[in-house]
């Protein structure tokens, strides 16, 4: 592997690419703690926890993302990050509000959907039970 001054980073959600570009370094949080990565870092795979993910673009711009759990894969000079949910923020102060608006609203929608699904499942079980009763 050649010595490089940049790496290609992509941050992907299930439905879209949140970011794709080059970076001089990045910071993330895994299950065993926070870490930084430079372009010539050893190849590895790690599970990410809900946290702030920071990419320092090649031009020096700091890109801040609020991410949910996911996985980071580094191979060569390519870093791929796949997360369930993620948002881009302008700075650390605003990312908290952005995450709250996007993640908490989705959590509430998921709770309502799970509740409806539970009612449907209970209805199906009752109907199967009625089918198994002997007919007079």
CA distances from 32 to 35, 54, 113, 135 (A): 9, 17, 33, 60
Structure tokens at 117: 């699904």
Predicted local confidence at residue 2, as pLDDT: 63
CA distances from 127 to 62, 120, 124, 132 (A): 57, 11, 5, 9
Rounded to the nearest angstrom, the gap between the alpha carbon of residue 31 and the centroid of all alpha carbons in its chain is: 14
Which fold would CATH assign to domain 7-92?
A: ATP Synthase; domain 1 (2.60.15)
Give the least confident one: 14-28, 92-106, 116-130: 92-106
Predicted local confidence at residue 6, as pLDDT: 93
pTM for this predicted structure: 0.71
Structure tokens at 53: 């993910």
Using one digit for the tens of pLDDT, what is the confidence trace for 17-42? Answer: 999 999 999 999 999 999 999 999 99
């Amino acid at each position: 592997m050649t010595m490089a001054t940049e790496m290609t980073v992509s941050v992907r959600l299930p439905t879209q690419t949140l970011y794709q570009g080059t970076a001089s370094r990045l910071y993330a949080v895994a299950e065993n703690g926070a870490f930084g990565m430079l372009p010539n870092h050893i190849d590895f795979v790690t599970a990410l926890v809900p946290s702030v993910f920071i990419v320092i673009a090649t031009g020096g711009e700091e890109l801040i993302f609020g991410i949910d759990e996911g996985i980071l894969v580094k191979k060569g000079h390519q870093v791929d990050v796949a997360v369930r949910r993620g948002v881009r923020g302008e700075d650390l102060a605003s990312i908290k509000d952005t995450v709250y608006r996007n993640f908490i609203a989705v959590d509430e929608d998921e709770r309502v959907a799970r509740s409806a699904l539970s009612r449907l499942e209970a209805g199906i079980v009752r109907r199967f039970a009625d089918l198994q009763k002997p007919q007079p």
